[in-house]
Structure 1
Amino acid sequence: MADRLTGGDSSLLRRINAAVTLRALRDGQSVTLTQLVGDTGLSRPTVEGVIEGLVESGLVAEVEHGQDGGGRRGRPARWFRFRAEAGHVLGVEVGVHDVRVVLADLAGEVVGGHAKPVDETLDPEERLGVVRTTVAEVLRKAGVSRDSLWAVAVGTPGIVDAEGTVRLGTAMPGWTGLDLGARLRRSFRCPVVIENDANLAAIAEHWKGAAVGKGDVVFVMAGLSPGAGSLINGRLHRGYGGAAGEIGALHLLGQEATPERLLSTTGKPLDPLDEAAVARVLRLAREGDEVARVATDRFLRRLVHDVAALVLALDPQLVVVGGWAAGLDGVLEPLREQLALYCLRAPEVALAALGTEVVAMGALRVALDHVEEQLFTVDPPSATGR
Structure 2
Amino acid sequence: MSKLTGRDPSLLRRINSTVVLRALRGTTAPAALTLTELVRATELSRPTVEGVVEDLIEAGLVAEAADAAARPGGTARRGRPARSFRFRAEAGQLLGLEIGPHRVAAVLSDLTGRLTGSLTREVDETAEAEARLERIRGTVAELLRRTGTARDALRAVGVGTPGIVEADGTVRLGTALPGWTGLALGERLRRSFRCPVLVENDANAAVLAEHWKGAARGVDDVVMVLAGLSPGAGSLIGGRLHRGFGGAAGEIGALHLLGREVTPERLLSTTDEPLHPLDEAAVARVFAEARVGDGRARRAMDRFLARLVHDVAALVLALDPELLVVGGWASGLDGVLDPLRAELERYCLRPPRVVLSRLGDTAVATGALRVALDHTESELFTVEGAGTAG
* TM-score, normalization by structure 2: 0.93
> CA offset at residue 345 of structure 1?
1.3
1:70, CA displacement in angstroms? 8.9
The question of 1:288 aligning with 2:293 is answered yes
Matched, 1:229 2:234: yes
1:154-303 alignment, distance < 5 Å: 154-303=159-308
> Which whole-Å CA distance do the structure 1 matches of 2:14 and 2:293 have between them?
66
Q: How far, CA to CA, are the matches of 1:210 and 1:35 in structure 2?
A: 36
Q: CA 1:69–1:119 in 2, change beyond 3 Å: closer, same or farther?
A: closer
Match of 1:20 in 2: 19
Question: Quick one: which of 152, 156, 159 aligns to 2:157?
Answer: 152
The letter of the residue matching 2:57 is V
1:71 & 1:202 partners in 2: Cα distance? 46
Partner of 1:376: 381
Output one character per residue of 1:259-297: Cα deviation in whole Å (capped at 9) or x when no partner.
111111112111111112111110110010111111101
What is the CA–CA distance in structure 1 between the aligned matches of 2:164 and 2:364, rounded to whole Å? 15
Q: CA deviation at 1:255?
A: 3.1
Matched, 1:312 2:320: no
Alignment match, 2:59: 57
Query: What secondary structure does 1:228 align onto?
Result: strand
Equivalent of 2:32 in 9, 16, 30: 30
Are the counterparts in 1 of residues 67 and 76 from structure 2 also a CA contact under 8 Å? no
Instruction: Report what 1:6 is aligned to.
Output: none
Q: CA RMSD in A?
A: 1.7
Residues in 1 aligned to 2:311 and 2:261: alpha-carbon distance in whole angstroms: 11
Aligned residues: 372
Q: CA deviation at 1:198?
A: 0.4
Asked if the contact 1:59–1:82 (Cα under 8 Å) also holds between the matched residues in 2, the reply is yes
Instruction: State the secondary structure of the residue aligned to 2:247.
Output: coil
Check the 8 A contact 2:228/2:328 in 1, yes or no.
yes
Residue 4 of structure 2 corresponds to: none
Query: Using the alignment, how far apart are the partners of 1:184 and 1:294 within structure 2?
Result: 43
Alpha-carbon offset, residue 72 of structure 1: 7.7
Question: What 5-or-longer segments of structure 2 have no aligned partner?
Answer: 1-7
Greater mean deviation of Cα atoms: 263-272 or 81-90 = 263-272
**1:103-118 alignment runs, 5 A limit:** 103-118=108-123
- Residues 196-216 of structure 1, C-alpha deviation per residue, up to 9 Å, x if partnerless? 000000000000000000010
Determine the C-alpha separation between the residues in 1 that align with 2:269 and 2:239. Answer: 39
SS of equivalent to 1:283: helix
Other-structure match for 1:325: 330
**Cα distance, 1:71 vs structure 2:** 5.5
- C-alpha distance in structure 2 between counterparts of 1:212 and 1:276, whole Å: 32
- Percent identity among equivalent residues? 69
CA distance in 1, matches of 2:15, 2:139: 37
Change in Cα spacing, 1:48 to 1:340, as seen in structure 2 (3 Å) is same
Give SS of 2:158's match: strand
Match for 1:188: what amino acid? F
- How far did 1:109 drift? 0.8
Are the equivalent residues in 2 in contact too, given 1:263–1:295 (CA < 8 A)? yes
- Counterpart of 2:14 in structure 1: which amino acid? R
Pick one of 355, 361, 366 that aligns with 2:360.
355
Alpha-carbon distance in structure 2 between the residues aligned to 1:289 and 1:122: 33
Q: Which range is displaced more, 356-365 or 270-279?
A: 270-279
Q: Displacement, 1:342?
A: 1.3
* Distance (whole Å) between structure 2 residues aligned to residue 305 and residue 16 of structure 1: 50
Give the AA of the match of 2:254.
A
Task: Tell me which amino acid in the other structure corresponds to 1:361.
Answer: T
User: Does structure 2 conserve the Cα–Cα contact (< 8 Å) formed by 1:262 and 1:299?
Assistant: yes
Q: State the TM-score, normalized to the length of structure 1.
A: 0.93
Q: Distance in 2 between the 1:143 and 1:69 partners?
A: 32
Aligned pair 1:141/2:146, yes or no?
Answer: yes
Letter in 2 for 1:359: V
Tell me how far apart the structure 2 counterparts of residues 290 and 10 of structure 1 sit (CA, whole Å). Answer: 75
Alignment of 1:118-129 (within 5 A): 118-129=123-134
Moved more, 242-251 or 266-275: 266-275
Partner Cα distance (2:9, 2:365) in 1: 33
1:377 Cα deviation after fit:
1.8
Amino acid at match of 1:106: L
Q: Secondary structure at the match of 1:218?
A: strand
What amino acid does structure 2 have at the position aligned with 1:91? G
Instruction: Provide the rounded CA distance (Å) in 2 between the counterparts of 1:333 and 1:302.
Output: 14
Q: Distance in 2 between matches of 1:315 and 1:264?
A: 33
Q: Is the 8 A contact 1:69 1:77 kept in 2?
A: no
Residues 294-326 of structure 1, C-alpha deviation per residue, up to 9 Å, x if partnerless? 110110010001101100100000000001111
The 8 Å contact of residues 106 and 139 in structure 2, kept in 1 or not, is answered as yes
Q: Deviations over 1:212-254 (max 9, x none)?
A: 0001000000011100000001110000111000000111122
